[in-house]
Amino acid sequence: MKTSNLIDPFRGKPGIYHFSTDALKKKILFKERTDFVYGVNSIAICAKDGKVDVLCYCLMSNHIHILLRGALSDCLRFMRKLMFRLAVYAGKRDREKAGFGVEDFEIVPVTSRNQMKKEIAYILRNPYKARVASPISYEWNSADVMFNPHAESVHGKSVQELTVVECRRTFATRGPLPEHYEYFEGKILNKCFVRNDLAQKCFRDDIDYFNEIKKFDNEIEVEGERLGKEHVFFTDEELHAKMLRMCRNEYYVSSPNELDGKSLLNLARALRVRFGAGKEQLERLLGLDDSLVGKL
């Protein structure tokens, strides 16, 4: 949901919001390690004033997910500042105007404990879904501090050891950083700015968290809640193009004919939820018979 269409269910009081950018419309943002480091540090810099809590985040090559807690106005200010930093960085790197602006993100209010569990799992599962890495081993999300009793024992260098010039050169910021911020190989540690203590409260325990992480059905549920009643219906030609793109980007095959039965049904469900595809349309495009369509 775009900011112009959002009705704040928290009415100005602190709430929880899932912010994301559109992976299908934007070009590659994070190409190399230095790009990802800049992205993580930008989140930490935007969070330094303490007005907004970062509950979890994930940076993928062409999109970001971040779960924030705070007043909507403060969360929007946080995101605009983050998007501005990323747009300026990408513009200088590519020597052309970035393919996104400061308002180029979507918002989903999180209004229940169950929804919060699904949103956190959805965000941190992204690298596994893309077959890049497991949520735990992926370097560019905040999963390393979730239910990790050893997170606080990991230490880097203190930002206080840097001169003003060194800090500006390392983190691309003119303002001072909090005294407790530590960094390793140029990246500010998650434990310094991610409120995993707040994120963990919606789970009963670490087992509940890991059970939620491995539920692939959440992908469709979360995307369905994001769309709500705003279905946009597409022609067969338009849907076919989107289907092939999903096959390449999410299943790493060139056509649905290469998918097994379970993956084919997951693709059909995703097309139905994301793009409002009808059962007859799915039968035509995917060659599904009535018995399979009935399982959607």
Give the pLDDT of residue 232. Answer: 46
- Residue ranges per structural domain of the chain: 3-213, 232-293
Mapping DSSP to helix (H, G, I), strand (E, B) and coil, where does residue 235 land?
A: coil
Phi, psi angle pair for 295, to nearest 5°: -85, -10
Q: List b or e across 188-209, with b for residues whose CB sees 16 or more CB atoms inside 10 angstroms.
A: bbbbbbbbbebbbebbeeeeeb
Give the pLDDT of residue 242. Answer: 83
**Digit-coded pLDDT (tens) for 268-284:** 888 888 877 877 788 88
Q: Which fold has domain 3-213?
A: Alpha-Beta Plaits (3.30.70)
Segments of the chain scoring below 70 in pLDDT: 1-7, 23-27, 99, 216-235, 290-296
The pTM (predicted TM-score) of the whole model is: 0.74
* DSSP-assigned states of every residue in the chain: --GGG---TTTTS-EEEEEE--TTTS-----SHHHHHHHHHHHHHHTTTSSSEEEEEEE-SS-EEEEEEE-HHHHHHHHHHHHHHHHHHHHHHHTS--S--TT--EEEEE-SHHHHHHHHHHHHTHHHHTTS--TTT-TTBSGGGTT-TTGGG---EEGGGS-HHHHHHHH--SSPPPTT-EEETTEE-GGGTB-HHHHGGGSSSHHHHHHHHT-THHHHHHHHHHHTT------HHHHHHHHHHHIIIII--SSGGGS-HHHHHHHHHHHHHHH---HHHHHHHH---HHHHTT-
Residue 120 contacts residue 202 (beta carbons within 8 Å): yes
Give the pLDDT of residue 55. Answer: 98
Q: Which helix (H) or strand (E) holds 20?
A: strand 15-20
Task: Count Cα neighbours of 293 within 13 Å in the Cβ-side half-sphere.
Answer: 14
